[in-house]
Amino acid sequence: MSAITTLLLFPFVPRRVAAAHLRTPLHKIYLIHWLGLLALAGVVVCIDLEAETHPFIGGGVTRAVRSGGASAAIAGGVVAAGEVVFVLVAAMMTCWAGRDEPISATFRHALRVSWLFVAHLVWVVVAFGLMMFGSVSGSISAPLFLFVCFSGVIVWSIISYLRALTLDRRGDVATPADPMCEWCGYNIAHTDPNGLCSECGKAVADSLRRKRSLDVVADRKDIAGYGDAATRAWFHSETFFRTFAAHERTVFSITHLVFWLGMTVVLSGGAFVGGISVATGDSPPLFIGMVVVLAFGLFIAWCFFILLSAIASLLGWLVSRQVGRNRFAAVHHVVALTSSVIPFWACLAVITLVLSFLPPRVGIFLPMWALIVAATCVAYWRAIARRVGYVQYQNGPSTVAQRDDTDPSDQTIDHRIHDHPVFKSE
């Protein structure tokens, strides 16, 4: 697939484009990325030159960069910082791409998709320019309509990005046929089944044990709904997470996360409008209030989505290095299925933030708000880290181990994770 075709099709058929570039070297993807950056720069220049003709918008950035060396240096620094952001985003979103493969292969796929995301940025900038020019019109409905359209473009780009990340790549890197040690990843194909792993000293029989298995299915018919799943994830964690495979995601966990992020949009947006109304003693018109709820709710949901992805990816790196296997999908299960706390966490953060800006308590409550949010992040980290070891891994690409409650010797929790100081419970 050519570079131009890649940039044109990626926003619309992301999985098809990502599948076509699974074996494309990273340096070629980077060249496509820079071609997209040039197209993005052209759009920005056109918007900037057009903005010069609007006295209420202003422009002239292009002329300043072209005529001044300092401005050109600043522009180059912004581009360099943007390139760092692309790499950081790939690292934070690695949990969405994880499967049973070397960790480096997962990161390379995330980096490919992040570099190709520049094709979406062109559409985002165009939508932003239209919204900016519409804001100077005399009509009130035009800017609001364009703002809703801009928000729709943002949501569309995020969904497309995630679809490319979650591409089924089983045919790209084959799952190793030889059995591996559950604790250190050492190949135990030619090791005595009754002996010890020569790498870590653990019993080989623990890794070769074949338990009752069940297929990983998209819909869990034994769960009544999202509320039931949230209850089990938090209060019956061990028996619940043992039925999920550590090497592949399920549609169930992804839809669970999307559902609670959708609840975050509604509740956090409503909390923001309600908090502002209480603080000012005035309520906005219904239509404007709905737009503000949608816009602010989407922003808060996006922030918490980034936070969850960063936590999952960082835990995935730690667990994978500790166990010796790619456990990004396992951590993704836990984060997605414990995300039911996010709407309430977001509402609390929004309400306390609004109250912290009420005079004369700004200087006191704002640092306290930041401290409470940081403490909540640490508490959530510890809560999900304790549950990662429950997600089961069994040698084989399509089965997931399930505990046999009638067998007292069935102790298949990943003890190496639980013995690590990072993942110990309080």
Q: How confident is the model at residue 32 (pLDDT cuts 50, 70, 90)?
A: very high
Whether 419 shows a pLDDT value over 50: the answer reads no
Q: Is residue 172 part of a domain?
A: no
Number of domains in the chain: 2
Q: What is the pLDDT of residue 178?
A: 65
Same domain, 127 and 227: no
- State mean pLDDT over 194-223: 60
Residues 6 or more apart in contact with residue 101 via CB below 8 angstroms: 169, 173, 175, 326
Does residue 217 lie in a domain region? yes
| Domain boundaries, position 395 | 213-423
Q: Where residue 359 falls among pLDDT bands split at 50, 70, 90?
A: low
**Weakest mean pLDDT among 187-191, 233-237, 315-319:** 187-191
Q: Rounded mean pLDDT of 148-161?
A: 83
More confident: 35 or 249: 35
**Is 188 within 8 Å of 204 (Cβ atoms)?**
yes
Look up residue 152 and give its amino acid: G
Partners of 399 in the beta sheet?
Answer: 215
Q: How many beta carbons lie within 10 A of that of residue 219, not counting itself?
A: 10
Q: 300: closest CA among 333, 255, 347?
A: 347
Taking a C-beta distance cutoff of 8 angstroms, is the pair 184, 191 a contact? no
Would 178 be classed as within a structural domain?
A: no
Give the integer Cα–Cα distance in Å for 48 and 58: 8
Same domain, 226 and 326: yes
Per-residue pLDDT at 113: 92
**160 touches 13 (CB < 8 A):** no
Highest mean pLDDT among 35-39, 67-71, 174-178, 204-208: 35-39
Q: Does the structure show a pLDDT above 70 at 252?
A: yes
Does any domain span residue 194? Answer: no
- Rounded to 5°, angle at Cα 361 from 356 and 363: 85
Q: Are residues 25 and 81 in the same domain?
A: yes
Give 171 or 217, the one with higher predicted confidence: 171
pLDDT band at 31 (very low <50, low <70, confident <90, very high): very high
The upper half-sphere exposure of residue 229, i.e. CA atoms within 13 Å in the direction of its Cβ, equals: 27
174 Cβ contact list (under 8 Å, min separation 6): none
Q: Is residue 401 pLDDT above 50, yes or no?
A: no
Asked whether residue 43 is domain-assigned, the answer is yes
DSSP tag of 203? B
pLDDT tens digits, one per residue of 314-326: 988 888 887 777 8
Q: Given pLDDT bands bounded at 50, 70 and 90, which one contains residue 216?
A: very low
Which tokens in the block code for residue 65?
């960069």
Element (H, E) at 214: strand 213-215
Higher pLDDT, 174 or 6: 6
> How high is the pLDDT of residue 114?
92
| 220 and 96 in a common domain | no
Position 210 scores a pLDDT of 40
pLDDT at 417: 44
Pair of tokens at residue 219? 């819909």
| Residues 410 and 271 grouped into a single domain | yes
Confidence of residue 23 (pLDDT cuts 50, 70, 90): confident
Q: How far apart are CA 406 and CA 411, in angstroms?
A: 11
Mean pLDDT across the stretch 227-255? 80
pLDDT at residue 238, rounded to an integer: 81
Q: Is residue 195 part of a domain?
A: no
Same domain, 133 and 39: yes
Find tokens 């509604």 and name the residue.
266
Same domain, 370 and 296: yes
Which pLDDT score, from 0 to 100, does residue 75 have?
A: 67
pLDDT above 70 for 363 = no
**Distance in angstroms (rounded) separating the CA atoms of residues 269 and 91:** 29
Q: Do 380 and 293 share a structural domain?
A: yes
Beta bridge partners of 392: 245
Answer whether residue 171 is part of any domain: no
Higher pLDDT, 278 or 176: 278
Instruction: Read off the tokens for 288.
Output: 């404007």
Question: Using one digit for the tens of pLDDT, what is the confidence trace for 64-90?
Answer: 555 656 666 766 777 788 888 899 989
Q: Are residues 94 and 101 in contact, defined by beta-carbon separation less than 8 angstroms?
A: no
Helix 286-323 × helix 362-388 angle, to 10°: 50
* Predicted structure pTM score: 0.72
Q: Is the pLDDT of residue 426 over 60?
A: no
191 inside domain: no
Confidence of residue 274 (pLDDT cuts 50, 70, 90): confident
- Tokens at residue 34, please? 């820079």
239 and 380 belong to one structural domain: yes
Residue that is last in its domain, among 165, 187, 205: 165
Q: How far is CA 307 from CA 89, 256, 301, 335, in A?
A: 11, 17, 10, 11
Band of pLDDT at residue 396, cut at 50, 70 and 90: very low
Helix or strand run (H / E) with residue 399? strand 399-401
pLDDT at residue number 393? 62
Do both 145 and 13 map to the same domain? Answer: yes
| Same-domain check for residues 58 and 131 | yes
Residue type, 113: V
Counting Cα atoms < 13 Å in the Cβ hemisphere of 4 gives: 0
Question: Across 45-59, 65-79, 224-238, 274-288, which has the greatest mean pLDDT?
Answer: 224-238
Residue type, 182: E
337 lies in the same domain as 394:
yes
Provide mean pLDDT across the span 265-289: 76
At residue 29, the pLDDT reads 93
Q: What is the arithmetic mean of pLDDT over 151-170?
A: 83
Q: What mean pLDDT is reported for the chain?
A: 75
